Amino acid sequence: MSEPELGPVAGRWALRLERRYPHPVEKVWRAVTQPAHLAQWFPSTVEVDLWVGGAMTFGFGPDLVVTGEVVECDPPRVFAFTWDTDELRFELEPDGDGTRFVLVTTFDDRYGAASYAAGWETCLHALAPVLTGEPVPPSGRAVARHEELVARFGLDRPERRDGPAGWSVRWERQLTCPAEVVWDLFLGGLAGPAVGEEFRAQEVVRGTVTEVERPRVLAFDVAPAEPGDTVRLELGEGTGHGARLVLTVTGADAAERDAAVDRWGAGAVAHVAEQASTWAHSHA
């Protein structure tokens, strides 16, 4: 099994996965284009008019339906379609007595890439028993794999910016537990402080709270002994694995930036992500 590849394409992001199945191309083509087969391994039910311009409908239960359109169809080699704002492309090529299958998905949300990759790996693993006519075994959440892919794609590294007013460092991480859990992990299980109160972590005063909205926003002015000037935590909706964490630290003194990266990167974001992974494993 080859590792997934992530890269920029025309201002978006493309994720590529490749597998080999020991079955003829025609058989694999049926499994990746016919709704009855797709329902066994694809992440949703699918209705499709299998021609260029044909309508597609993806069902995620009774309350969520996403639409798309076939943009390329060259049986039994290429099937490409839109899925809401994303695009998926299936490429099939004979490989000896089997088929080389390539899935490419193109999207905007770079920080969701580890979730997408872990999910598609699970789907392509399920495609194998579908091709042999065997039952598809239950799948887990692939939490450990998700964290491996975060590191592989460099999604654990911050964005650093410098400007006339100072510097900023921003982390964005897809996590594997709900926002309420992330909030408690960030606060160390302590009650959230109110505006104007001290924010403490590990018995140390880190700053004075300027904004709080449990479990979505926590902002504070950094204490004099800490690197940086302001810290802002935001928790939003993620890709389905859990909450999306965004942590931004700003400062005017360039000499404090590296210390701030250490404090809030390894000291906060990475720590919370590790604890979130542990929580997800224990609640699987």
> In the prediction, which pLDDT does 277 show?
94
Judge if 147 and 188 occupy the same domain.
Answer: no
Q: Is the pLDDT of residue 191 over 90?
A: no
User: Tokens 């978006």, residue?
Assistant: 12
Phi/psi for 231 (5° steps) reads: -135, 135
For 197, other C-beta atoms within 10 Å of its C-beta total: 12
Residues 142 and 188 occupy one common structural domain: no
Domain boundary residue among 90, 118, 151? 151
pLDDT in tens, 231-276: 999 999 998 779 999 999 999 999 999 999 999 998 899 999 999 9
Given 151, 167, 198, the domain boundary residue is 151
pLDDT at residue 1, rounded to an integer: 64
SS3 sequence, the chain?
A: CCCCEEEEECCEEEEEEEEEECCCHHHHHHHHHCHHHHHHHCCCEEEECCCCCCEEEEECCCCCEEEEEEEEEECCCEEEEEECCEEEEEEEEEECCEEEEEEEEEECCHHHHHHHHHHHHHHHHHHHHHHHCCCCCCCCCCHHHHHHHHHHCCCCCCEEEEECCEEEEEEEEECCCCHHHHHHHHCCCCCCCCCCCEEEECCEEEEEEEEEECCCEEEEEECCCCCCCEEEEEEEECCCCCEEEEEEEEECCHHHHHHHHHHHHHHHHHHHHHHHHHHHHHCC
Tell me the sheet residues that pair with 266: none
Each residue of 56-79: pLDDT tens digit?
A: 999 988 888 999 999 999 999 999
Residues 267 and 158 sit within 8 Å (Cβ to Cβ): no
Of 151, 169, 197, the last residue of a domain is 151
Q: What is the CATH number of the domain that holds 89?
A: 3.30.530.20
Count of domains forming the chain: 2
The structure tokens listed for 72 are 């390329």
Report d(CA 45, CA 126) in Å as an integer. Answer: 15
Q: What is the domain range of residue 130? A: 5-151
Do 114 and 218 lie in a common domain? Answer: no
The pLDDT tens digits of the residues spanning 98-150 come to 999 999 999 999 999 999 999 999 999 999 999 999 999 888 788 999 999 99
Rounded to two decimals, the pTM is 0.94
Same-domain pairing of 82 and 211:
no
